[in-house]
Structure 1
């Protein structure tokens, strides 16, 4: 079980959420470029400096709702069990997120999630920052793979393919959600699509970096001729 948050941690989370919701309201009303960080701070009655204690840049006021997902693929790979490949870990991660109707996979019709999706869709600055989030996710996933004797080239190739599969699946789900379908309606196809995507990748990756099924075994496969 997760340890309960301290009072200080709860206050920090509440402030962060209040800033994000205030920014969402203001950006919807007047447009992202027309609203300053100072105005968001005034809406929540904190200083501009306080805003930047919580968010690195203005765009993170909106994208920060999902920033915790950046490290999750890398952690899924690091924490996978015996006998599992990185692909197995990513497939399990995606399947669990679909079942939980997670917004980052386009599977939540919660009002805030829908508002954030729509604002990103029509705001170039948020789209650019979102791409930076995606690159951070790929880079951290590649780092996790390199920790297991994978070459830099192999790690980057595998990370790119695994993360691209996740993003294509998320985009398809989000498209249907924005067109008016419910997460429950989308779910069966989303699961089938995810199985298809990871089965397709598995035929190419094979046993790459499969962990030993038994303690003491050692088996790390690398693509033939990889010298990167």
Structure 2
């Protein structure tokens, strides 16, 4: 919802306010219509404020995507904290958190993974996206502690990522609803369905 009254904030809070406004603008109007001016208007600050803090639209979107990766990790860690400590349970929890985030923030998810607008060499983007990838790598490799073949480990890692990311994309686009009927399932049934898909890749027992 657009801000229509002047919002009190401390100077140090302005970048956070702008990121929140940018995400709202992205979610409601899409990337094609996104602009610094629109984000500033939504935040109820001067049109020059985003450029002062983020230089240009690329800088703002890169910072927003970096924040998205931090929140993706938080969503995954929340699921992991609720799951058992076993390596299979932790791997599944990581995937469930990935899909939770995609469903909750579809426009941001697309910005992070499918858009060329962010600068992937932006320090924040690079750091947080690599941290998210490292979590997946650690979880997959933990399933195969005795696998010494580097190419085999990489194949397993990329297969896992392809499946969870592809499933997230299919869910948020609505294309998975027909075959999976997730909206008519209980949360436990939904999780069980996703779990079965994730584990099928690794031929591990649930």
TM-score between both structures, scaled by the size of structure 1 = 0.48
Query: Partner of 2:161 in structure 1?
Result: 163
Report the counterpart of residue 195 of structure 2 in structure 1. Answer: 195
SS in 1 for 2:116: helix
CA distance in 2, matches of 1:185, 1:141: 29
Verify the 8 A CA contact 2:27 2:108 in the aligned structure 1.
Answer: no
- Give me the CA root mean square deviation: 5.3
Whole-angstrom distance in 1 between the partners of 2:141 and 2:192: 30
Task: Provide structure 2 residue ranges, at least 5 long, that are not aligned to the other structure.
Answer: 1-9
**CA spacing shift, 1:183–1:13, aligned 2, 3 Å:** farther
- How far is 1:50 from its partner? 0.5
Structure 1, gaps ≥5 residues long: 1-6, 207-228
The Cα shift of 1:169 comes to 2.2
Equivalent residue runs for 1:181-220 within 5 Å: 184-185=183-184, 190-203=190-203
**2:98 & 2:11 partners in 1: Cα distance?**
29
CA distance in 2, matches of 1:201, 1:42: 45
Query: Quick one: distance in 1 between partners of 2:193 and 2:72?
Result: 22
Aligned length: 177
Q: Look at both structures and tell me which one has the larger radius of gyration over its CA atoms.
A: 1
Q: Cα gap change, 1:145/1:79 in structure 2, threshold over 3 Å: closer, same or farther?
A: farther
Ranked by relative contact order (alpha carbons within 8 Å, sequence separation 6 or more), the top structure is 1
SS in 2 for 1:125: coil
